[in-house]
Amino acid sequence: MVNTAFIQALAAETAKDGGKVFTFTSIIKFGLLCLLVMALIYVLAVLTPKIAAAIDKYLQKHRTSSSDDRTSEVRSIYDSPQKNSDDDNSKSNG
């Protein structure tokens, strides 16, 4: 069994020394704040793909096609190099 007199004395000493005693309401407020932050993160995680899809649709409607658009020429470092017919002929002639 727990000695409740000891717990009461400890709480009284903490309060007498000016220490902060966490009350039940402060713990509930902190818990609700944590739940609110988690709910906000969840809503943002669910809505982000939908917002991105709406932005993509908007950009497709309002994008102008320009002749100087060279984005199809951009490649990543993991793309294999394009083969030229000149490279094949120079290697076979040896």
The pLDDT tens digits of the residues spanning 62-71 come to 876 655 666 6
Give the pLDDT band of residue 57 (cuts 50, 70, 90).
very high
Q: What separation in angstroms does the CA of 43 have from each of 30, 52, 75, 76?
A: 20, 14, 35, 33
Q: Is the dihedral of CA 8, 10, 16, 22 positive or negative?
A: negative
Range with the largest mean pLDDT of 13-22, 24-33, 34-43: 34-43
Whether the CB-CB separation of 15 and 21 falls below 8 Å is answered with: yes
Q: Is 79's pLDDT higher than 90?
A: no
Kindly compute the dihedral angle of the four CA atoms of residues 40, 45, 50, 52, in this order, to the nearest 10 degrees: 110
Q: What separation in angstroms does the CA of 9 have from each of 1, 2, 6, 16, 20?
A: 17, 13, 5, 10, 15
Residues 30-57 have a mean pLDDT of 95
Which pLDDT value is given to residue 41? Answer: 97
- Sequence letter at residue 55: I
